[in-house]
A and B are shown apart, each in its own frame.
Chain A
Amino acid sequence: MTSLHWAILAPFLLAILIPFFYKYVRQIHTGWFVLVLPLSLFVFFLQFLPITSNGGVIHETVPWVPSLGINFTVYLDGLSLLFALLISGIGSLVVLYSIYYLSKKTESLNNFYVYLLMFMGAMFGVVISDNLIVLYVFWELTSLASSLLISYWFHREKSTYGAQKSMLITVFGGFSMLGGFSLLYVMTGTFSIREIIEVADVIVTSPLFLPAMILVLLGAFTKSAQFPFHIWLPDAMEAPTPVSAYLHSATMVKAGIYLVARLTPVFGGVAEWFWLVAGFGIVTLCWGSISAVRQKDLKSILAFSTISQLGLIMCLLGLGSASLYYGYGTDTTMYTTATLAAIFHLINHATFKGSLFMTVGIIDHETGTRDIRKLGGLMSIMPITFTISLIGVASMAGLPPFNGFLSKEMFFTGVLNAATLDIFNMETWGLLFPVLAWIASVFTFLYCMIMFFQTFTGEFKEENYDRHVHEAPIGMLISPIILGSLVIIFGFFPNLLSYTLIEPAMAAILPGLLAPNETFYVNIYMWHGFNTELFMTIGVIVVGTLFFLSMKKWAKTAIYLRERDPLNYVYDHSLVWLVKGSTKVTHIQMTGLLRDYFAYMITFLVLMVGYTLYRYNAFTIDTVNVAEISPYMWILTFVFIAATLSIPFINHRITAIIVVGIIGFLLALFFVVFRAPDLALTQLLIETVMVVLLLLAFYHLPELRKEKFTPRFKMTNAVISVAVGVVVTLTALSAYALSHTNNMNPISDFFVENSYDLAGGKNMVNVILVDFRGLDTLLEVLVLGIAALGVVTLIKLRMTGREDV
């Protein structure tokens, strides 16, 4: 166990202690105890910066299930460190924010912080694990913790709905991902991502390549809320705002991004990966930005905005994977820009989206509403919140001088470069990317304006709020202020990140592209002259502003008014359909009638045996080895069969009992003929007792004796019965014939030779029963004993006063 292992486990260990802090130290807000951990982890992870920025990695293994190749291996490189810093850094800020957001008097803080710590630890596990199975375990833990946090206010119906939805969708993806991981294991024989990347060229040629890729991508897309799996994210907004800020903007939803980036060296460089990742990314980008415009709730706007920005990052990762196709060469640097932009925007998005969620939380906390139709004129009342929002929104819209502007410019560069690609059919479809990206940017600009102006400008209406509106306490503002400052700092000095964080992360996503001792050129400039990208941005601002100014005209259109995502209709209805369908199926087959279940079982048995006989052509009949039939046997058998066949036609119960008795006695006669004296004796006795018992039982039921029973003939029953008879006969004939063709000798010669010598008895059957195979007899006696006890119990013991006995 190295310090990195402990870093992953630390949140879980602290989570165990939280309830004690909560219970015994009531005067201090529990959040303060929690805050120490992410802060120290952030500092802890910072010390790895010099190592990874020089291309170094940390690689430590602790065996977990070594026999299955599952080891708790930690692997820290540029990409992992970037995520770890995001998780711990934003984690600290969110915990700090939550201390002021959640009241220690009214909220059950122990639940909140236990779930949050569990999530944090799981997230560290996802990004630092090298073993796919360990990664999967932590992955599912994040789903679980996320659902628990969404349903934190579990008495609200919407919260539990959102939690269930996110659970269903992300766990569906998680399972697919596990399938993909298993396929990777089948192809490579290892669960270690490192080792899988080393044999990536083997995987590409495997027939399992495409299924594995699709399954893994399903996991990544569901987690990262890509189209059409994004529908859980807006409903997850029922969680407390710190949770939304942390999980649903900065960390958990980026787990899918992380996975795609991490596995790019495995799957990247082929057309399918390029198109799936970039295609779904750009569709999500457009869909999310257009949907965000329609929202009336601030958190919903941010949710759809998150969806669209995640789509943007995903699209860039897909475009960047094209460079793997070319391998190392001078012309590849052009395409790696997309990867660079993805990483840069990942960081930027975490900063501005985190701060925006926090300011929205403040507005909600101080005004009691998040509805943009009620809000307005908060600029002078909440000046600090206003300033932070302005920075965040401007960055999100892609305005200079904030970091969003830089990443947006790089995004445009990426899509423009992609349009010039001449692989993967990009000659024909390449132009789609810049066009769609530009449209999405216009909508992004539009919802940013709506969000900002509807909240802070206009008239302040006192009657819309149920409380006295004022600026938030300073403690609540610290975290958004820090994030807002970062937005500006990264905007003005982007190169702070270039060679410390971004370059090592790029090297992790695109390994093997560089010659030794070479690094990606990642200088990011604030100003890069008048180029196409800049004109595109100007176009976005102009068109977006025009749209916003003419809002009154199109705000009445049906599409704008419909807030819910239309895909929810599909989701809700398929759930309802699933329940209805399964209920229907259950009702059809589970009739509650014993006969039906018998019929199912027997039919299945007959079909299975019959099919096997047919399939293997197994029916044979042996006429050579059979014993000859003596004349009286014909008569005996005829009477026996006739008696058996007559039973279904007998109306009277007592008669039926007697006929069954006769069959039993005839069977005893068979035993006599076939030289089994002991059997004949037993059968005779038992049949007598049986008939007496039957007659006694039904003679003493006077109502029943009078009641005449008319058996109804049922065709299906008859068919099933005849089939059973035929199948049994055919099986018996074949089995008998086969036992001779295979020349199997019975072991009975042993009994014949040794009964007297070893056991001292001359009756071989009895010797077998009590000597050679005495254990059978012992247990058979036990069966009889239990049956007798059961009979006595049933007759003697009666529960009274109960409805059912």
Chain B
Amino acid sequence: MEILMSITVGVLFMVGTYLILTKSLLRLVLGLMLLSHGAHLLLLTMAGLKQGSPPLLGEEAAYYADPLPQALILTAIVISFGVTAFLLVIAYRTYKEHKTDDLDKLRGSADE
């Protein structure tokens, strides 16, 4: 399972990288979203995906899934949501001001 997930994470990173290397601002935001998905999945995978009960003590199981990475991922999800939302608004405002979302056209002037 971990091997399969590692490959999945690799695919997420691959597509994410490809998207942030293209020139559309929207695709850049999408690429960053995919990269954060990849990171979250990687966090979960690295802790081991052995079968076990969800980390709820009420289950009274012999073996629980590791709760720590889940807590870490939860924090990461919220933070990346905040950042992505902010980025999205910046992209929106950039488009409003410059009437383009082409990164090639959004270059600083030569003397900057």
**How many chain A residues touch B (Cβ–Cβ < 8 Å)?**
96
What 0/1 pattern do residues 725 to 768 of A give for CB contact below 8 A with B? 11011001101100100000011100110011000001111001
A326 smallest CB distance to B (angstroms): 66
- Pairwise interchain contact A660-B34, C-beta atoms closer than 8 A: yes
Pick from A675, A698, A726, A794: contact of B89, CB under 8 Å: A794
A662–B47 Cα gap in the complex (Å)?
25
- Pairwise interchain contact A647-B15, C-beta atoms closer than 8 A: yes
Considering only CB atoms, which chain B residue lies closest to A642 in the complex? B11
B25 smallest CB distance to A (angstroms): 9
> Which of A679, A732, A784 has the most CB atoms of chain B within a 10 A radius of its CB?
A732
- Pairwise interchain contact A805-B79, C-beta atoms closer than 8 A: no
B8 smallest CB distance to A (angstroms): 6
- Pairwise interchain contact B75-A690, C-beta atoms closer than 8 A: no
Pick from A595, A748, A773, A791: contact of B103, CB under 8 Å: A595
- Pairwise interchain contact B10-A726, C-beta atoms closer than 8 A: yes
B81 smallest CB distance to A (angstroms): 5
What 0/1 pattern do residues 92 to 110 of B give for CB contact below 8 A with A? 1101110101011011100
A440 smallest CB distance to B (angstroms): 53
Q: Which of A33-41, A184-192, A530-538, A633-641 binds B?
A: A633-641
Check A183 for interface membership: any CB of B closer than 8 A.
no
Considering only CB atoms, which chain A residue lies closest to B49 in the complex? A627
A692 smallest CB distance to B (angstroms): 11
* Size category of the binding interface on chain B: 35 or more
Within 8 A of B (CB), among A516-550: none
Q: List residues of chain B with CB within 8 A of the CB of A390.
A: none
Pick from A621, A722, A784: contact of B78, CB under 8 Å: A784
- Pairwise interchain contact B57-A783, C-beta atoms closer than 8 A: no
Q: List residues of chain B with CB within 8 A of the CB of A625.
A: 48
For the complex with contacts A690-B81, A769-B75, 17 further pairs of A-B residues with Cβ separation under 8 Å are A595-B103, A595-B104, A627-B2, A627-B50, A674-B49, A675-B54, A724-B14, A729-B9, A732-B42, A752-B57, A752-B67, A765-B74, A768-B71, A769-B74, A783-B78, A786-B82, A791-B89
Listed by A's residue number, 28 A-B pairs whose Cβ atoms lie within 8 Å are: A593-B104, A602-B21, A626-B1, A637-B4, A641-B11, A644-B12, A644-B15, A647-B34, A648-B15, A648-B22, A675-B55, A677-B56, A678-B74, A683-B77, A697-B91, A721-B21, A724-B13, A733-B3, A746-B47, A751-B68, A752-B67, A763-B55, A765-B55, A765-B67, A768-B68, A773-B71, A791-B85, A794-B89
Considering only CB atoms, which chain A residue lies closest to B96 in the complex? A701
- Pairwise interchain contact A675-B65, C-beta atoms closer than 8 A: yes
A231–B9 Cα gap in the complex (Å)?
63
Q: B residues bordering A, Cβ < 8 Å?
A: 1-15, 17-24, 26-27, 29-30, 33-34, 37-38, 40-42, 44-58, 64-68, 70-71, 73-75, 77-79, 81-86, 88-93, 95-97, 99, 101, 103-104, 106-108
A679–B55 Cα gap in the complex (Å)?
11
Considering only CB atoms, which chain B residue lies closest to A591 in the complex? B107
Q: Which of A317-325, A345-353, A703-711 binds B?
A: A703-711
Q: List residues of chain B with CB within 8 A of the CB of A773.
A: 71
A763–B71 Cα gap in the complex (Å)?
11
What 0/1 pattern do residues 35 to 74 of A give for CB contact below 8 A with B? 0000000000000000000000000000000000000000
A722–B84 Cα gap in the complex (Å)?
24
Considering only CB atoms, which chain A residue lies closest to B99 in the complex? A703
A682–B80 Cα gap in the complex (Å)?
12
Check A629 for interface membership: any CB of B closer than 8 A.
yes
- Pairwise interchain contact A728-B10, C-beta atoms closer than 8 A: yes
Report the 9 A-B pairs with minimum CB-CB distance, sorted nearest first: A725-B14, A729-B10, A787-B82, A764-B67, A721-B18, A762-B57, A764-B55, A768-B71, A627-B1
A790–B93 Cα gap in the complex (Å)?
12
A605–B39 Cα gap in the complex (Å)?
16
- Pairwise interchain contact B82-A784, C-beta atoms closer than 8 A: yes
A431–B26 Cα gap in the complex (Å)?
80
Considering only CB atoms, which chain A residue lies closest to B52 in the complex? A675
- Pairwise interchain contact A783-B1, C-beta atoms closer than 8 A: no
A60–B18 Cα gap in the complex (Å)?
68
A351 smallest CB distance to B (angstroms): 55
Q: List residues of chain B with CB within 8 A of the CB of A598.
A: 20-21
Check A720 for interface membership: any CB of B closer than 8 A.
yes
Pick from A648, A747, A765, A787: contact of B71, CB under 8 Å: A765
- Pairwise interchain contact B68-A644, C-beta atoms closer than 8 A: no
Considering only CB atoms, which chain A residue lies closest to B92 in the complex? A697
Q: A residues bordering B, Cβ < 8 Å?
A: 592-595, 598-599, 602, 621-623, 625-629, 633, 637, 640-641, 644-645, 647-648, 653, 656-657, 660, 663-664, 667, 670-671, 674-679, 682-683, 686, 689-690, 693-694, 697-698, 701, 703-704, 709, 711-712, 714, 717-718, 720-722, 724-726, 728-729, 732-733, 735-736, 739, 746-748, 751-752, 755-756, 762-765, 768-769, 773, 776-777, 780, 783-784, 786-788, 790-791, 794-795, 805
B95 smallest CB distance to A (angstroms): 6
- Pairwise interchain contact A637-B8, C-beta atoms closer than 8 A: yes
- Pairwise interchain contact B74-A626, C-beta atoms closer than 8 A: no
A712 smallest CB distance to B (angstroms): 8
- Pairwise interchain contact A656-B71, C-beta atoms closer than 8 A: no
- Pairwise interchain contact B75-A717, C-beta atoms closer than 8 A: no
Given A593-B104, A733-B3, A701:B95 Cβ within 8 A: yes
Considering only CB atoms, which chain A residue lies closest to B6 in the complex? A732
- Pairwise interchain contact A732-B9, C-beta atoms closer than 8 A: yes
A602–B77 Cα gap in the complex (Å)?
23
Q: List residues of chain A with CB within 8 A of the CB of B44.
A: 670-671, 674, 676, 679
Q: List residues of chain B with CB within 8 A of the CB of A783.
A: 78-79, 82-83
Pick from A602, A736, A787, A790: contact of B17, CB under 8 Å: A602
- Pairwise interchain contact A667-B37, C-beta atoms closer than 8 A: yes
Considering only CB atoms, which chain A residue lies closest to B64 in the complex? A752
Considering only CB atoms, which chain B residue lies closest to A683 in the complex? B77
B21 smallest CB distance to A (angstroms): 4
- Pairwise interchain contact A689-B10, C-beta atoms closer than 8 A: no
A772 smallest CB distance to B (angstroms): 8
Q: List residues of chain B with CB within 8 A of the CB of A787.
A: 82-83, 85-86
- Pairwise interchain contact B99-A769, C-beta atoms closer than 8 A: no
Given A595-B21, A679-B70, A701-B95, A791:B46 Cβ within 8 A: no
- Pairwise interchain contact A663-B34, C-beta atoms closer than 8 A: yes
A446 smallest CB distance to B (angstroms): 54
A783–B75 Cα gap in the complex (Å)?
10
Considering only CB atoms, which chain B residue lies closest to A670 in the complex? B41
Considering only CB atoms, which chain B residue lies closest to A686 in the complex? B81
Given A683-B77, A697-B88, A752-B67, A714:B11 Cβ within 8 A: no
Pick from B24, B33, B51, B66: contact of A709, CB under 8 Å: B24
